[in-house]
Amino acid sequence: MTQQTRQKRHQQKRTAASQPATAAEPNCPPAPTPGLAQGWCALSALHGRIESHIERVLQAQHHLSVREFSVLSVLSEQHDGPGGHLRMHQVADAVVLSQSATTRLVTRLEERGLLSRYLCPDDRRGIYTDVTPQGVALLVEARPTHDGALCEALQDAAQRPELAPLVTAVETLAPTADR
């Protein structure tokens, strides 16, 4: 192969690599809209910033992770009188974790006395998870810390031009009573 042929093939490869995939090309999905991809990256960055800030504050003040706080919060909202509880798969869905990760998390919280588990009386295959009075007390203590850290993280993110529109969108989602 001559030097000229190699250069021509190299140029063709570079040109092909720089062009977005088209629907006509087999096995290649269409390239995402650049604005959509940038928006997704900004949303991911906002989420990461908020979660890491809340995590640091909750750990420092209450020895509680964001995920642990979320589980306690979700379970505490199920209390509409006796029998307020969730099955493990419902907890997993609510906190967006796999069932195995949720089981490990619930086990840690149970060992700390913050949650309890018991067999479903109607279906012995099911396991209910419930927050204990100690878990409710910790949640009540930690909620202002969580909410304050969330506000701090949003205020900080609002100063960044690429995140400010997302912060505004998040703030418009809040119920009227929170505003």
- 37-61 average pLDDT score: 95
Instruction: Give the pLDDT confidence score for residue 156 in this predicted structure.
Output: 96
Cβ atoms 82, 90 nearer than 8 A: no
Say how far residue 97 (Cα) sits from the centre of its chain: 9
Strands in 115-119's sheet, in edge-to-edge order, are 86-87, 127-131, 115-119
| pLDDT digit string, tens, across residues 11-34 | 665 555 555 544 445 666 666 677
| pLDDT digit string, tens, across residues 161-172 | 999 999 999 999
Instruction: Give the pLDDT confidence score for residue 81 in this predicted structure.
Output: 47
Please tell me the number of Cα atoms within 13 Å of 122 on its side-chain side: 3
When the candidates are 3.90.1150.110, 1.10.10.10, 3.30.470.20, 1.10.3720.10, the CATH number that belongs to 63-157 is 1.10.10.10
**Higher-confidence residue: 107 or 18?**
107
Neighbours of 74 (CB within 10 A): 17
**Higher-confidence residue: 155 or 10?**
155
- 95-112 average pLDDT score: 94
| pLDDT digit string, tens, across residues 59-101 | 999 999 999 999 999 998 875 544 567 888 889 999 999 999 9
The pTM of this model reads: 0.74
Say how far residue 159 (Cα) sits from the centre of its chain: 22
Helix extents (H) in the chain: 3-18, 34-62, 66-76, 88-95, 99-111, 133-158, 164-173
Separation between Cα atoms, residue 163 and residue 149, nearest integer Å:
17
